[in-house]
Structure 1
Amino acid sequence: MRIAVTGGSGKLGRHVVRRLTADGHQVLNFDRVGERGPGMVVVDLRNYGQVLDVFLGLDDRHSGFDAVVHLGAISAPGLLPDAETFENNMLSTYNVFQAARRAGIKRLVYASSETVLGLPFETDPPYIPVDEEYPARPESTYSLVKHLEEQMAVELTRWDPELSIIALRFSNVMDVDDYADFPSFDTSVMARKWNLWGYIDGRDGAQAVARALENGQPGFDAFIIANADTVMARSSAALAAEVFPNVQVRKDLDEHETLLSIDKAKRLLGYFPEHSWRNHTTGIED
């Protein structure tokens, strides 16, 4: 496919561009920062005219796209004032979705967030492992925007039944270099409680994008994307019992099984994590 990737210079975006290119797709990165070259075009996603223009064509670079992967955003709460986060992320996503529709692009995959599940879980989750079945519980402006983006996607796909928009609720993105710090998380069970001790290896995040592009169906759907294990050495059952004693655990948990359920992504997208921080810190190659 011919694929436009917004935010392809970011931590997850670099893995996505690399994976999709390796899979044989023609990929063009739209971003405001990053290494300039034939694979990147500088685009301000807050400017609808720019977004529509580059989706429709760009001189001899391309003449249109089959799909869009939208990752470009302020990437976390608290990096900028709340109003700036809201304006940047909400406007950028509207521009990308609407411009794609106007350009006749029917396949969109974009980065939603684990934050819509209720992070930092100062209020207990309704059950463990958390999944996509309960209503969004945004607790920050950043998360509120992610929730509103999902609602926008619901309506846009209602307007256009042929349109496919897949929201991937990514956990905290990690590179291999980050794994050296993981053993230190065990010094305090509360240090990573805020996202139920979850993470996503950037390479597995890219795999999820590839699977969503391959297997996404018309309409809107949302999937939690995390690695198969937690960031902790102690068992998942012990973590749940100690920190969330009043929360129902809905299944027998494997020793280090993620508490951010990826069952739906496995079942419908064919997503199966291939990497784990444990392999790197023990010297086992994955």
Structure 2
Amino acid sequence: MRIVVTGGSGKLGRTVVRTLREEGHQVVNVDRLGERGAVVHVDLTDYGQVIDALAGIDEQHSGTDAIVHLAAIPAPGLVNDVATFRNNLLSTYHVLQAARRLGVKRVVTASSETVLGLPFDVPPPYIPVDEDVTSPESTYSLVKHLEEQLAIQLVRWDPELSITAFRFSNVMDPEDYAAFPSFDADARLRKWNLWGYIDARDGAQAVSLALRNAKPGFERYVIAAADTVMSRPNAELVAEVFPGVEVRGDLGVNDTLLSIDKARRELGFAPQHSWRDEVAPG
């Protein structure tokens, strides 16, 4: 396919671009940042630039079959709230609206685990958390929730349109894993996302699966590694940090507490990478 990846210069984006190219797709990286020749510089808050870039760019491409929208201010607190709201919501609207106008029927977009209620200063209603939990606690998270709501209405307007939103957990590369054994000393260091993470390579796997398997309409999925960042057992962690929270089912010893059951069931998502393969647990 001819695929435009927005934010292809970011941490997850780099791996997504590489993975899709290795699968034989023609991939164009659209971003504000990146080396000349490796990226097409586009301001996604400018609709004219967005629809022009998706329609075709000289020798880069002559049209778009699918879009992977990863570009955003990537976390709360990096800029002021108004700037976060304006940049992220407007960019996503422009990308989705341009897709509709150009007849692009397959879109994968980055939502966020923050929509689940991070940093869980208010405990989650149950553990493991799944897609039914929506409790944005920051402007960044609120925007991600609004982006999901936007997608729901756009696919209602266009029943042939497929939009898949991934609530990605904290993205990690192999070089990040050296720090993981130190987390065991204090269970609260990483409680903010229920001790979750996603290897960038498995994040890219999820994107590839959605591009192949997603059906028309809107779906959202939690995307996380199969395990936690901790070597301490889940029962111990939950009892210490979230006493009284309902536990649904068997937590396993170190199984993810960000439920990926829906992604496994509907997309065939199967995380292949764990920090335990890179670094010996403490």
Tell me the TM-score normalized by structure 2.
Answer: 0.98
- 1:18 paired residue number: 18
Cα separation, 2, equivalents of 1:221 and 1:250: 23
AA in 1 matched with 2:237: L
- 1:31 paired residue number: 31
- 1:223 paired residue number: 221
Cα separation, 2, equivalents of 1:35 and 1:158: 38
Asked if 1:138 is matched to 2:136, the reply is yes
AA in 2 matched with 1:232: M
Unmatched segments (≥5 aa) in structure 2: none
1:118-157 equivalent positions in 2, closer than 5 A: 118-134=117-133, 136-157=134-155
Q: Say which of 184, 187, 209 aligns to 1:186.
A: 184
In the TM superposition, what is the alpha-carbon distance from 1:264 to its structure 2 partner? 0.3
Tell me the TM-score normalized by structure 1.
Answer: 0.97
Q: Say which of 233, 239, 248 aligns to 2:246.
A: 248
Cα separation, 2, equivalents of 1:51 and 1:11: 22
In the TM superposition, what is the alpha-carbon distance from 1:248 to its structure 2 partner? 1.0
AA in 2 matched with 1:88: N
- 2:89 paired residue number: 90
- 2:45 paired residue number: 46
Q: Determine what percentage of the aligned residue pairs are the same residue.
A: 68
- 1:7 paired residue number: 7
In the TM superposition, what is the alpha-carbon distance from 1:244 to its structure 2 partner? 1.1
In the TM superposition, what is the alpha-carbon distance from 1:282 to its structure 2 partner? 2.8
- 2:71 paired residue number: 72
May I ask how many residue pairs the two structures share in their alignment?
281
For residues 35-65 of structure 1, what are the alpha-carbon distances to aligned partners after superposition, in whole Å with 9 as ceiling and x for unaligned? 221x421111111000000111112221111
Query: Does the residue aligned with 1:63 lie in a helix, a strand or coil?
Result: coil
AA in 1 matched with 2:204: A
Cα separation, 2, equivalents of 1:177 and 1:213: 28
Query: 4+ residue stretches of structure 1 with deviation over 3 A?
Result: none
AA in 2 matched with 1:116: V
Cα separation, 1, equivalents of 2:130 and 2:262: 8
- 1:234 paired residue number: 232
AA in 1 matched with 2:66: A
Cα separation, 1, equivalents of 2:182 and 2:79: 28
Cα separation, 2, equivalents of 1:282 and 1:210: 30
In the TM superposition, what is the alpha-carbon distance from 1:241 to its structure 2 partner? 1.7
For residues 1-28 of structure 1, what are the alpha-carbon distances to aligned partners after superposition, in whole Å with 9 as ceiling and x for unaligned? 1100000000000000011011111100
2:33–2:39 Cα contact (<8 Å) kept = no
Query: Does the residue aligned with 2:36 lie in a helix, a strand or coil?
Result: coil
Unmatched segments (≥5 aa) in structure 1: none
Asked if 1:112 is matched to 2:111, the reply is yes
In the TM superposition, what is the alpha-carbon distance from 1:270 to its structure 2 partner? 0.6
Cα separation, 2, equivalents of 1:60 and 1:231: 44
- 1:274 paired residue number: 272
Cα separation, 2, equivalents of 1:208 and 1:237: 28
- 1:101 paired residue number: 100
Query: Does the residue aligned with 1:30 lie in a helix, a strand or coil?
Result: strand
For residues 152-177 of structure 1, what are the alpha-carbon distances to aligned partners after superposition, in whole Å with 9 as ceiling and x for unaligned? 00000000000000000000001111
AA in 2 matched with 1:160: D
